[in-house]
Amino acid sequence: MRVFLTGASSGIGEALARHYAVAGATLGLAARRRERLGELIAELPGEHACYVLDVADAAALQAAAEDFIARCGCPDVVIANAGISVGTLADAADDLPAFRRVFETNVTGMAQTLQPFIAAMKARGSGRLVGIASVAGIRGLPGAGAYCASKAATIAYLEALRGELRGSGVEVVTIVPGYIATPMTAVNRYPMPFLLPVDEAARRFARAIERGVSYTVIPWQMGVVAKLLRLLPNPLFDAIFARAGRKPRGLDL
């Protein structure tokens, strides 16, 4: 198996890289942090390709995709995992750059990750394009407008992509995580129900990818929560979540 993965230097991406490497896959690992990515590659069994890049850079992703295909062949799985999260307030002008950065990474970065591989997968007639979304995309949470909006956008983007590729042999998998124990969630100063260890999350993600599930919430308990959130009338939702804990602002992106 050949797997291309972004956001590979920590959190979910690192756990997925370790999972697939142990399973014998050939990996193309992309991330911003050169030192950490190099350390990870050195720890993994097998020979893998390493790409130091920012998913906001379309040209860098195109070059990485072309290099990986030339060296290893068209991947069987491409996982657009890179993502960032930070608290934002709508009335704070200082948060507008963070809002823009979150969208560049979480939404545009996902499209720029998947696009370079689509033609090769369609020509072969097989492959899986995977996007990592979030239950935060189900409803807008106060203090997390940028992150929630970006994840809602990724869910809609992946759904549209699934329709575009119907009948081509290329499958689109939308994974919607709840709370996973990663550096991204470690800064949260509020309860995180059904928090899942990152290694277990990676195993569950990989199973869903292998089955080609079009949309899945992991862990399943958060899928129940997501359905209930959709059913809450707006006045009740607003009253409950206006008082909920909020992600810290001003984090390093």
Residue 45: which residues within 8 A CB-CB, separation 6 or more? 21, 22
Known catalytic residues are 147
Q: Which two tokens stand for residue 205?
A: 């993600």
DSSP 48: -
Can you say whether the dihedral through the CA atoms of 242, 246, 250, 253 is positive or negative?
negative
Alpha helical stretches, state H, the chain: 11-22, 34-43, 58-72, 96-103, 109-124, 145-164, 183-186, 198-211, 220-231, 234-241
Are 11 and 183 spatial neighbours (Cβ–Cβ below 8 Å)?
yes
Q: What string of DSSP letters covers 117-129? A: HHHHHHHHT-EEE
